[in-house]
Structure 1
Amino acid sequence: MLIGNLNAKRETYPAGLKSLMSIEKANESRAWLSQWSRLNSEGTPLYSLPDLAAALGVAEILVKDESARSVLGSFKALGAPIALVRLILREFPEQRFEPRGLLAGEYRAALADFTVISATDGNHGRALAAAAQSVGCRCVIVLHANVSAEREEAIAAYGAEIVRITGNYDESVEAAAALAERNGWWVVSDTSYEGYEEIPRDVMQGYGTLAAEIIEASAGGQGRDPAFTHVFLQGGVGGLAAGIASYLWELYGEQRPSFIVVEPEQADCLYQSAIAGKAARATGSVDSLMAGLACGEASPLAWTFLQPCVDFFMTIQDDDAVAAMRRLAAGSERDVPLVAGESAVAGLAGLVNIVATGRLASRVGIDARARVLLISTEGATAPGLYAKLVGESADSVLSRQKAWSASA
């Protein structure tokens, strides 16, 4: 399903939004992250997939591969550490902590009694746990019933204390807030709610690193037209989409590319927000294979950015995601094989569905001149599930990737 957003504008990035998130702050975050030992100092690659573009009838497909961001396996490694650092700087101004020193663990003795907590579907919690371990503070992670044991183990490996609940993601968010209130802990969440916006804003700001790398790697630099006409972004609560779209909107203004947000049909909170004209809840079960996007309620703060700039919202089925995972893993003569997890491929699945329906392709402007940017947000963060869905292990795909790169 696809819906056009009547509120989308093509204008200069508004001053009110720039006061909340800006390229300047994104670049500051990027500088801090550049010294964190758990991130790839070279950033992540931007691949062109000419065979896939030809098959789908578009001029170019670019894929930003976040599986190579760090050992944490996803783009979430950009948001949680920045939010944690900015929180500590605000709470301990008298200590004069230095941001890079925080991530290097230089102040762990002073922060040993400081505790952060968050609910997660997996990747955000893993990134927060890793950041807390680096900083030297305590971390508690709340997991809902649908988070796999495989993902729980990956989070616990970074020293986090795990709390399990029987409900869904939104109920885990409520549980984390209640535990924080009871114990005097700090919630470091990637979704906002009433009275809680500063930290989610910092998380989203961290994602600007990803956008900056895309601009540097593509032909669309400062003062030029974008190197892409369409950007497909994952849904979830809206944080990634807001972080990327706001950066590109500020950079390109009226010449910004078209933004299409894609989410599971059973976790359609952003699609429903577009219908309602305000941050809304999903209408489905919120039980999707795309675990990182299985969110029942849109982040009101993220929606503040998405409502005026996202051109289309759409939903896909779980089977669409599996097919997209397999297509990227397969590669081809001219397309590098890529390890992309269940949530990473929402954009490609959405593009495939649009192309398959000529009426939708015409409506969105996807034609032989379209240059499409996709964000592959995670690798095989649940290796066992990845192998089951793709029919090949992530290690095997990476081995073929290495061989392809050597012969390219």
Structure 2
Amino acid sequence: MSTKYEIVTNDITKRKKADLSFLSEDMAKKVLKFHKSFPQYSETPLVELKNLADYLKIKDIFVKDESFRFGLNAFKVLGGSFSIGMYIAQRLNKNIEELTFEELTSDEIKEKLGDITFITATDGNHGRGIAWTAEQLRQKAIVYMPKGSAIERRDRIRVHGAECEILDLNYDDCVRYASKIAEEKGYVMVQDTSWDGYEDIPRWIMQGYMTMAYEAYNELNAGNIVPTHIFVQAGVGSLASAVTGFFSSVYKENKPIITIVEPDKAACLFKTAQYDDGKLHPVTGDMNTIMAGLACGEPVTVGWEVLHSNCEFFLKVPDNTAAHGMRVLGNPLRKDKRVISGESGAVTAGVVSQLMRLDDLNEIREKINLNENSVVLLFSTEGDTYFEGYLNVVWNGAYPNE
């Protein structure tokens, strides 16, 4: 059995340190307070997979299971809702700490704001979060999806009253198209992809994701547990930047080894780290991967320095790694809890399992220093958001290990 991985080692001791103040614990407290005001809020499970860890011969594995987030089966609503909250706070000349979900959805604020149309591009999860938030605010949402998107994901967005259309474009071109429409029509673009002149909302989205990281940190901290390794998946890199920035901020003296994981067909952060010339390096083309949520070709500008100065490794992996992770999490050993994880959510579990079990990955495993003393933290960022695809992998064995 062989699995093709490629890795870039990033010597963070030689990097200029990025400003992490916007991803600090103090900021995370504000974000969490905002999300806690939502009636749908409950802390998502941090699942300990002790039997899997024993089988893989590492000390422990923890998986943050975001399939329970707000009933939307994915973490993305955290960034979308917080960024919209920040946008409205600015419109009202208020501090975000003064705004609760109840106030945001009140008749008074609706009257002050008037009608707003939020527009975005998505593979599914982000767009559903924006559509849901707009629905709560009695506002309008327009969502564009790239070619190849699952009809099931499109229909789940439409349930929230949003206009949603699958375009004959890749993800990055969908973003450009949505931005063009927003500019022409005066709509509010809510996207985690950033570019010159469009960085506030992507930064707020990154901050919104910290609720997930902060919950995990608090639970680990309560048990006096410090992870030695964090593996985090990346599309444009906003989630990865949020997780990396937050944990690098709170673990100053004993920072975990952080590895960024991308699909081999959409590895824009890997490519940027590989060139290491001070420029961002996009990936173009269809980026045809089962990891739809990670099929992004252009790195987030506001997050790259966070990643570059704090992530030790950038790893690109094939689709079968994500499929393997889905099967591993969905078929727990002994008394471990089951985690229903989609393609983009499960890829890091697949990485850890394959690194510890496949001889041809020994060199990479040794580079990352993954061993019997490792305590690993992972984020399962979505559940079975594409149900037929989930069954095809977990029941029918699609994308087997080669």
TM-score normalised to structure 1 length: 0.89
Measured in 2, the distance between the counterparts of 1:71 and 1:332 equals 27
Deviations 1:119-166 (A, max 9, x none): 111100100111111122211111121211110001111111124321
The 1:360/1:344 distance shift into structure 2, 3 A limit, reads same
1:185 is displaced (CA, Å) by 0.8
Give the corresponding residue for 1:87.
87
Give % identity. Answer: 32
1:254 is displaced (CA, Å) by 3.5
Aligned mate of 2:394, from 390, 393, 399: 390
Give the corresponding residue for 2:318.
317
Measured in 2, the distance between the counterparts of 1:3 and 1:73 equals 30
1:210 is displaced (CA, Å) by 1.1
Give the corresponding residue for 2:299.
298
Give the corresponding residue for 2:175.
173
Measured in 1, the distance between the counterparts of 2:217 and 2:22 equals 21
Give the corresponding residue for 1:379.
383
Give the corresponding residue for 1:235.
234
1:213 maps to amino acid: E
1:117 is displaced (CA, Å) by 0.6
Give the corresponding residue for 1:403.
none
Give the corresponding residue for 1:369.
373
1:220 is displaced (CA, Å) by 6.6
Measured in 1, the distance between the counterparts of 2:26 and 2:178 equals 31
Give the corresponding residue for 1:51.
51
Structure 2: unaligned runs, 5 residues or longer: 397-402
1:321 maps to amino acid: A
The 1:364/1:206 distance shift into structure 2, 3 A limit, reads same
Give the corresponding residue for 1:336.
337
1:283 is displaced (CA, Å) by 5.9
Give the corresponding residue for 1:208.
210
Measured in 2, the distance between the counterparts of 1:70 and 1:380 equals 15
Measured in 1, the distance between the counterparts of 2:21 and 2:367 equals 33
1:103 is displaced (CA, Å) by 4.1
Deviations 1:62-106 (A, max 9, x none): 111111112111111211000001011112328997343344444
2:317 maps to amino acid: I
- Tell me, yes or no, if the aligned pair for 1:103 and 1:131 is still in contact at 8 Å: no
Measured in 1, the distance between the counterparts of 2:38 and 2:125 equals 18
1:334 is displaced (CA, Å) by 2.4
Measured in 2, the distance between the counterparts of 1:220 and 1:231 equals 18
1:215 maps to amino acid: Y
Measured in 2, the distance between the counterparts of 1:139 and 1:108 equals 15
The 1:152/1:102 distance shift into structure 2, 3 A limit, reads farther
- Tell me, yes or no, if the aligned pair for 2:10 and 2:308 is still in contact at 8 Å: no
Measured in 2, the distance between the counterparts of 1:89 and 1:276 equals 40
SS at match of 2:259: strand
Relative contact order, CA 8 A, sep 6+: which one is greater? 2
Give the corresponding residue for 1:148.
150
Aligned mate of 2:362, from 358, 365, 384: 358
1:57 is displaced (CA, Å) by 1.5
Deviations 1:263-307 (A, max 9, x none): 110011111011122322126641110110111111111212101
Q: Which runs of 4+ in 1 moved over 6 A?
A: 94-97
Give the corresponding residue for 1:401.
none
Give the corresponding residue for 1:69.
69
The 1:377/1:263 distance shift into structure 2, 3 A limit, reads same
Of stretches 364-373 and 129-138 in structure 1, the one that deviates more from structure 2 is 129-138
Aligned residue runs from structure 1 range 91-240, under 5 A = 91-93=91-93, 98-106=99-107, 107-219=109-221, 227-240=226-239
Deviations 1:206-238 (A, max 9, x none): 1111111112211478xx7x6210000011110
Structure 1: unaligned runs, 5 residues or longer: 393-408
Measured in 2, the distance between the counterparts of 1:179 and 1:33 equals 30
- Tell me, yes or no, if the aligned pair for 1:260 and 1:312 is still in contact at 8 Å: yes
Measured in 1, the distance between the counterparts of 2:308 and 2:63 equals 25
SS at match of 1:308: helix
1:90 maps to amino acid: Q
1:372 maps to amino acid: V
2:330 maps to amino acid: A
Measured in 2, the distance between the counterparts of 1:321 and 1:257 equals 23
SS at match of 2:58: coil
- Tell me, yes or no, if the aligned pair for 1:280 and 1:298 is still in contact at 8 Å: yes
TM-score normalised to structure 2 length: 0.90
1:167 is displaced (CA, Å) by 0.7
